[in-house]
Amino acid sequence: MSGRISSVLGTPARRLGAASALAIAAALGLQNAPVLAQDDTLRVVIHADLRNLDPIWTTAGITLAHGYMIYDKLYEFDSAGVPQPQMADGHTVSEDGLVWTITLRDGLMFHDGDPVTAEDVVASLERWWQRDGMGQTLAGVTESLEAVDASTVRITLSEPFGLVLDALAGIRGNPPFIMPADVAATPADEQITDYTGSGPYVFLADAWEPGSTVVYERFADYVPRDEPADFMSGGKVVNFDRVEWVYIPDSTTTMASLMAGEVDIWELVPPDLAVAMEGSPGIVVERGAYSHGVIRPNHLIPPFDQPEARQTLLHLVDQSDVLAAAIGDEALWQECAAYLTCGGPYESEAGVVGVVAEPDIERAAELLQASGYDGSPIVILDPTDLPDLHAVALYVGQQLRAAGATVDVQAMDWSTLTSRRTSTAPVDEGGWNILVTYTGGLEAASPLTNITLAANCENAWFGWPCDQEIEDLRTAWRTESDVEARREIAEALQVRAYEVVPYVPYGQFFTSRAHRDDITGYIPGTPISVYWNVDRVE
Amino acid sequence: MRNPPRAFRTETQASAGKPAGVVAATLSRLWRNPTACFGGTLLALLAASAVLAPLLAQHDPLALVPAERLRAPSHEHLFGTDMLGRDLYARVLHGGRLSLTVGILTAVICSLVGLAIGLVAGFSRLADALIMRVMDGIMAIPGILLAIALATIVGGGVSTIVLAIAVPEVPVVVRVVRGVVLTLREQTYVEAARSLGTRPGRILLRHILPNSLAPLIVQATYICGLAILIEAYLSFLGAGIPPEFPSWGNIMAEGRGFVLIAEWIILIPGAFVAATVLSLNLLGDALRDMLDPRTRRAL
Amino acid sequence: MATIPVMGVVAIIVFGLIHISPTDPAAVIAGDYATPAHVEEIRQQLQLDRPIHEQFLTWVGHVLSGDLGDSIFSERPVLQLILARLEPTVSLALMTILVAVVIAVPIGVVAAWQARTVLDRALMLLATLGISVPAFWIGYLLIFSVALDLGWLPVQGYASLSEGLWPFLSHLILPSITLGTAYAALIARITRASMLEVMGQDYIRTARAKGLPMRKVLIGHALRAAAIPIVTVIGLGFALLIGGVVITESVFAIPGIGRLTVDSIQRKDIPVIQGVLLVFSAVYVVVNLLVDLLYTLLDPRIRYAG
């Protein structure tokens, strides 16, 4: 009788199934088995999924973070914003400022055991400066780049350029990571397939599970500098045998996981959860880098091809409302009308219109009328998967409606948005009128690196503002070396920006990060999270 | 059961072309069934709250009020507020309109399309083979995945979502209708009618359609519930109705990141979804039990 | 036999629906700070410009030779990505089926036995509730109560069998309850319905009349006869599982095929979407074929005509 029961309930099938499950698990599991939990493994929940591994081919933040794990650079910025030697031992500049000679320090080695030579540096820089904005600028003023001997690189300029080291220390865009010469020989528009670097960690390609886990292990032969770590510069000391990057798309699950001690670091914590976790036992919440909010109108098509229409936005946006909606807790944001950010060297109140005052709906409606707005729907791109930007998009929509405009808030995810924003077509052919985003605070602080401020028409960042005066001022700033003169130029730039409105700044806010309280040495404020210097207290 | 089973009587009544009588009889029987009564009342209440939403809700469901973010349920805000300061009570009630509309539209579309295709498949051997292969193909792709893929690829908007949810459910209706047609075609009285020269159209109207109606309605009820649930899933994964206008699904999707600090944003719409789908399932069960002769002979 | 045309239809659907996509993967890969020129470059590189029928034929050819293409974003072969994610999903699915069947069938039997009593109504109400509640609701509830507050089980993630039996099981318990609730509810309902139907039959009544104890009647005779619809719904309900896997893996951060699907759809990673839909459909078809085979084991009187 019992035999019949089990056949009825399908036990043979189930037994078969269980056995095959174990068999499959064993077979596949042996290939992909995550290592058992160890104290010398650092587990980090990363902010995005690592998809592409070539930081010269893409500028995605997570790929750059990957780059900082396995590569090294000639120079790195310290907390004062001064480029410090990293792979370089030092440099000399000729009298006329045209010849820069950089020597490499001893002990630099790639993960495969080969020493790092000047040839590798030259090849890497030549690949890098085809892509990166700052690099292109440097390439434009360089006559020759050569390896003088195994440990010396010489850059000969065609004109004096004070930012050579700044270019070589560039944190974002495409950072000038040094790769083996044969890897750097890969054309800049193709992705590399060899991930050998000379940085403090080694990438374990076999353990990589896209969409879930990235694994690095300590590079035993890495020789860190003697100086203490200072922002991106200084000695890159590694205290863990192994680092696991975990991608968990659900922030609730991540928070529970951090609180349960299953992970050590959470790179990017949504503002409300950051505030909620403050004071939780076992958890430390810190501020990350600061960001600069950007509401970008499309200058190519109506209605924002007219300056009056763009100025409408200045009277509709109240930074404290936007930031309260998008970020929440006041501790995490501040109003800042400066195009070149507050707290930076060019903070200024010159020329400010609206944005930090109560919205003036009447004036906004007037300006909108005056611009010749015909009532057709204004398309706002709304990235619904990014809650902070989603809030900003809805806010702008609400304010525009209050001013009498017809608004079409189009929901999409960020990926789709990055594709839609490339469209220069009119709205009924897939174009857009307003896009919301933010840039790094550090980049926004300088006229050279604040790409959203650039008004070079069709070569500008999406939105394509076009204003000769802004461009002249930016060039003037770049070529000026006197600090006071630069400040005056920056002010003039801001005054002009408030007339032309390349974008509407909606303030500054801090990202947050969190970690278990037994973790120390997580360097604060870096635009890209770095994992040297991190240690676990026993 | 000395007399001919009630089912047969119902069938002949229907074949005699008195649909109104059947409806009245069904409704009165439903009223006596406690599960159906419970489900029906619950559904009626939820539907009423959705329809009367503008009257019941004091606040504008779309108005951003940053100063009132993430407030727990209170006197001022019965269901609390969400992360943009919008009143959740208003959003949930208005959301009910959208979610219920999605459910009803899906059920209607599936029924109509499924009926049409099912009839064709039942009548034409040739078309049947092709149609059933295509239906099998659609059914072979798990419904939620197909809906997600369709919804994402074609983009947001209520009509797209409805279509995305409807497509995977059409084959079920087709099967049911086709089944009825095939069974009935074999019945003596239908053969008799045909041999007498009755036009196919009349056979359709007087015999086939009325008998398809009952199982169709049962299916439609289930599909309505399923559609509301799938809308919630689609929105949860970011492939559903764009969040500017609330639906139960997208309210929960927006609240996903806040479950640990503002759980009402997911709990309350979720309760509404569960209640609605439950009531629809209970109604469907009751209808099915009533209309399917076999289960009524249970112990 | 009918499988091939069915898979053919699936292939057409899978290929076709994705090519009505209006979005452009090129811009996504280029990253946030890239120029429009760079975006165009990537578009050319990925050959997104070829005519549709050409793309279809090429695609089918590749698929049949086992090449499901490369992911647009990670540039790894789709098949490799899917195989790497197979284990967690298969483990979860099997665990869920186990848990669901073990819980649901007895519930259905008891409900049928106690038909029309309060117990029956309560159990069936519970079952109906089970197919009405959104799965992620259950998931979060379990995470907070069991994993966080009580600390008995891990919050998220997946542990392979090679890490030990308890880690493997403990990571799967909450997800399988989440995933399995609707599935179990469905099975319970059908079990009860089909048991009732069988129990109304004359030969059962005869057995009862002859004095056989209820338990023997239930399990020995009725359940056997009722097995076919139960097994059918286990097979058909598998679609529920596959659909639910997407949600469950998303909430519990399990690195399986469900998560792969969600990520790929959000990023419009077309080859991966196609590959996953094909694989899932094939699995579903195979499962139902197995169910059909199981029929012949259960009841040799059944003949299957294609």
Q: What is the DSSP string of A118-135?
A: HHHHHHHHHHHTTT-HHH
Inter-chain residue contact A18 with C220, CB threshold 8 Å: no
C-alpha triplet C283, C286, C289: angle, nearest 5°: 155
Whether the pLDDT of residue A389 is over 60: the answer is yes
- Residues 6+ positions from C106 with CB-CB distance below 8 Å: none
State the Cα–Cα distance between residues A44 and A47, nearest whole angstrom: 9
Residue A403 pLDDT? 93
Q: C63 or A423, which is more confident?
A: A423
- Contact yes or no for A527/A442 (Cβ under 8 A): yes
Whether the pLDDT of residue A503 is over 80: the answer is yes
C-alpha triplet B184, B186, B191: angle, nearest 5°: 95
Band (C44; pLDDT cuts 50, 70, 90): low
State the Cα–Cα distance between residues C246 and C174, nearest whole angstrom: 15
Instruction: Name subunits touching A (3+ CB pairs < 8 A).
Output: B, C
In B79-221, DSSP assigns E strands to none
Whether the pLDDT of residue C19 is over 70: the answer is no
Chain A residues 79-118 within an 8 A CB cutoff of chain C: none
- For A79-106, write each residue's pLDDT tens digit: 888 999 999 999 999 999 899 999 999 9
Residue A328 pLDDT? 87
The average confidence (pLDDT) of chain A is 87
The average confidence (pLDDT) of chain B is 82
Q: Phi-psi bin for B13: left (phi > 0), alpha (psi -120 to 50), beta? A: alpha
SS3 readout for A425-494: CCHHHCCCCEEEEEEEHHHHCCCCCCCCCCCEHHHCCCCCCECHHHHHHHHHHHHCCCHHHHHHHHHHHH
Alpha-carbon distances of A316 from A296, B154, B235, B244, rounded to whole Å: 14, 34, 31, 20
SS3 readout for chain C: CCHHHHHHHHHHHHHHHHCCCCCCHHHHHHCCCCCHHHHHHHHHHCCCCCCHHHHHHHHHHHHHCCCCCECCCCCCEHHHHHHHHHHHHHHHHHHHHHHHHHHHHHHHHHHHHCCCCHHHHHHHHHHHHHCCCCHHHHHHHHHHHHHHHCCCCCCCCCCCHHHCHHHHHHHHHHHHHHHHHHHHHHHHHHHHHHHHHHHCCHHHHHHHHCCCCHHHHHHHHHHHHHHHHHHHHHHHCHHHHHHHHHHHHHHHCCCCHHHHHHHHHHCCCHHHHHHHHHHHHHHHHHHHHHHHHHHHHHCCCCCCCC
- Contact yes or no for A121/A178 (Cβ under 8 A): yes
- For B220-253, write each residue's pLDDT tens digit: 999 999 999 999 998 888 778 877 789 999 899 8
Closest CA to C178 of C117, C247, C112: C247
Q: Is A512 helix (H, G, I), strand (E, B) or coil?
A: strand
Residue C72 pLDDT? 66
Query: Residue A216, CB half-sphere, CA atoms under 13 Å: how many?
Result: 31
Other Cβ atoms closer than 10 A to B78: 18
Sign of the torsion angle spanned by Cα atoms C142, C148, C150, C151: positive
Size of interface B-C (CB pairs under 8 A): 144
Inter-chain residue contact B62 with A272, CB threshold 8 Å: no
Among A421-430, B86-95, B207-216, where is mean pLDDT lowest? B207-216
Of C83, C220, C268, the CB nearest to A415: C268
Whether the pLDDT of residue B43 is over 60: the answer is yes
Residue A239 pLDDT? 94
- Give the nearest chain A residue to B85 (CA atoms): A325
Band (C224; pLDDT cuts 50, 70, 90): confident
Q: Which of C131, C132, C179, C242 to mutate to test the interface with B (most CBs of B within 10 A)?
A: C132
Q: Where exactly are the structural domains of chain C?
A: 3-78, 86-255
Residue A11 pLDDT? 36
Whether the pLDDT of residue C35 is over 70: the answer is no
State the Cα–Cα distance between residues A52 and C42, nearest whole angstrom: 13
- Give the nearest chain A residue to C73 (CA atoms): A51
Residue B200 pLDDT? 66
Q: Phi-psi bin for A521: left (phi > 0), alpha (psi -120 to 50), beta? A: left
Mean pLDDT of A519-528: 90
**What value of ipTM does the predicted structure carry?**
0.79
Inter-chain residue contact A324 with B66, CB threshold 8 Å: yes
Q: Exposed, middle or buried, B157 (CB in 10 Å: 0-12/13-18/19+)?
A: middle
Inter-chain residue contact C193 with B35, CB threshold 8 Å: no
Mean pLDDT of C158-162: 81
Inter-chain residue contact C263 with A49, CB threshold 8 Å: yes
- For C91-139, write each residue's pLDDT tens digit: 999 899 999 989 998 898 888 888 888 898 899 999 999 999 999 989 8
Inter-chain residue contact B149 with C17, CB threshold 8 Å: yes
Pairing of strands A41-45, A265-269: parallel
In B36-127, DSSP assigns E strands to none
Most confident of C8-12, C140-144, C173-177: C173-177
Which H or E run includes A504?
strand A504-516
- For C263-294, write each residue's pLDDT tens digit: 777 666 767 877 888 888 888 888 888 888 87
Inter-chain residue contact A252 with B69, CB threshold 8 Å: no
Inter-chain residue contact B278 with C266, CB threshold 8 Å: no
- CB burial of C270-306 (b: ≥16 within 10 Å; e: otherwise) equals bbbbbbbbbbbbebbbebbebbeebbeebeeeeeeee
Q: DSSP state, A10? A: T
**Domains of chain B, earliest start first:** 20-296 (1.10.3720.10)
State the Cα–Cα distance between residues C50 and C59, nearest whole angstrom: 12
Pairing of strands A152-157, A142-149: antiparallel
- Give the nearest chain B residue to A413 (CA atoms): B238
Contact status of C105 with chain A (Cβ, < 8 Å): yes
Contact status of A23 with chain C (Cβ, < 8 Å): no
Inter-chain residue contact B238 with A325, CB threshold 8 Å: no
Alpha-carbon distances of B263 from B66, B147, B255, rounded to whole Å: 19, 27, 8
- Give the nearest chain B residue to A325 (CA atoms): B66
Query: Residue A209, CB half-sphere, CA atoms under 13 Å: how many?
Result: 26
Band (B174; pLDDT cuts 50, 70, 90): very high
Residue C208 pLDDT? 74
Q: B184 or B152, which is more confident?
A: B184
Q: Which of A174, A190, A245, A248 to mutate to test the interface with C (most CBs of C within 10 A)?
A: A248
Band (A67; pLDDT cuts 50, 70, 90): very high
Q: Which of C46, C156, C230, C233 to mutate to test the interface with A (most CBs of A within 10 A)?
A: C156
State the Cα–Cα distance between residues C135 and C251, nearest whole angstrom: 10
Residue C18 pLDDT? 57
Inter-chain residue contact C9 with B278, CB threshold 8 Å: no
State the Cα–Cα distance between residues B287 and C111, nearest whole angstrom: 20
Q: Which of C33, C78, C218, C267 to mutate to test the interface with A (most CBs of A within 10 A)?
A: C33
- Residues 6+ positions from C301 with CB-CB distance below 8 Å: none
Chain A residues 286-315 within an 8 A CB cutoff of chain C: none
Q: Is A275 helix (H, G, I), strand (E, B) or coil?
A: helix
Q: A97 or C206, which is more confident?
A: A97
Chain B residues inside the 8 Å CB shell of A321: 66
- For B105-129, write each residue's pLDDT tens digit: 999 999 999 999 998 888 888 888 8
Mean pLDDT of B250-276: 89
Q: Which of B133, B138, B152, B294 to mutate to test the interface with C (most CBs of C within 10 A)?
A: B152
Contact status of C90 with chain A (Cβ, < 8 Å): yes
Report yes or no on whether pTM surpasses 0.90: no
Band (A364; pLDDT cuts 50, 70, 90): very high
Residue C299 pLDDT? 66
- Contact yes or no for A488/A476 (Cβ under 8 A): no
Among A186-195, A490-499, B14-23, B186-195, where is mean pLDDT lowest? B14-23
- Residues 6+ positions from C52 with CB-CB distance below 8 Å: C19
State the Cα–Cα distance between residues A138 and A125, nearest whole angstrom: 10
Residue A189 pLDDT? 83
Band (B296; pLDDT cuts 50, 70, 90): very low
Token pair in block for residue A491: 């002010």
Mean pLDDT of B177-202: 75
- For A391-450, write each residue's pLDDT tens digit: 999 999 999 999 999 999 988 777 778 778 888 989 888 899 999 999 988 889 989 889
Chain C residues inside the 8 Å CB shell of B268: none
Contact status of C102 with chain A (Cβ, < 8 Å): no
State the Cα–Cα distance between residues C232 and C140, nearest whole angstrom: 31
Mean pLDDT of A473-500: 91
Q: Is the peptide bond before B293 cis (omega within 30 degrees of 0)?
A: no
Among A32-46, A236-250, A305-319, C172-186, where is mean pLDDT lowest? A32-46
Mean pLDDT of B55-69: 87
State the Cα–Cα distance between residues B77 and C37, nearest whole angstrom: 50
Q: C210 or A454, which is more confident?
A: A454
- What is the CATH code of the structural domain delimited by C86-255? 1.10.3720.10
C-alpha triplet A267, B234, C246: angle, nearest 5°: 65
Inter-chain residue contact A172 with C33, CB threshold 8 Å: yes
- Contact yes or no for B293/B7 (Cβ under 8 A): yes
Query: Residue B211, CB half-sphere, CA atoms under 13 Å: how many?
Result: 26
Q: What are phi and psi of B228, to 5 degrees?
A: -65, -40
Residues in chain A: 538
- For A196-249, write each residue's pLDDT tens digit: 999 999 999 988 887 788 999 999 999 999 999 999 999 999 999 999 999 888
Q: What are phi and psi of A525, to 5 degrees?
A: 80, 0
Token pair in block for residue B196: 């007498």
Inter-chain residue contact A325 with B254, CB threshold 8 Å: no
- Contact yes or no for C109/C195 (Cβ under 8 A): yes
Mean pLDDT of A51-71: 90
- Residue recorded with tokens 């059909």: C292
Q: A456 or C53, which is more confident?
A: A456
State the Cα–Cα distance between residues A440 and A172, nearest whole angstrom: 9
Inter-chain residue contact B83 with A382, CB threshold 8 Å: no
Band (A492; pLDDT cuts 50, 70, 90): very high
Whether the pLDDT of residue A26 is over 50: the answer is no
Band (C2; pLDDT cuts 50, 70, 90): low
- Contact yes or no for A295/A317 (Cβ under 8 A): yes
Whether the pLDDT of residue B3 is over 70: the answer is no
Size of interface A-B (CB pairs under 8 A): 67
Q: B294 or C231, which is more confident?
A: C231
Q: Exposed, middle or buried, C112 (CB in 10 Å: 0-12/13-18/19+)?
A: buried
Q: Exposed, middle or buried, B195 (CB in 10 Å: 0-12/13-18/19+)?
A: exposed
Closest CA to B180 of B46, B11, B3, B2: B11
Q: Is B62 helix (H, G, I), strand (E, B) or coil?
A: coil
- For A260-315, write each residue's pLDDT tens digit: 888 999 999 988 889 888 888 899 999 888 899 999 999 999 999 999 999 999 99
Q: DSSP state, B295? A: G
State the Cα–Cα distance between residues B184 and B190, nearest whole angstrom: 7
Token pair in block for residue A350: 């010159």
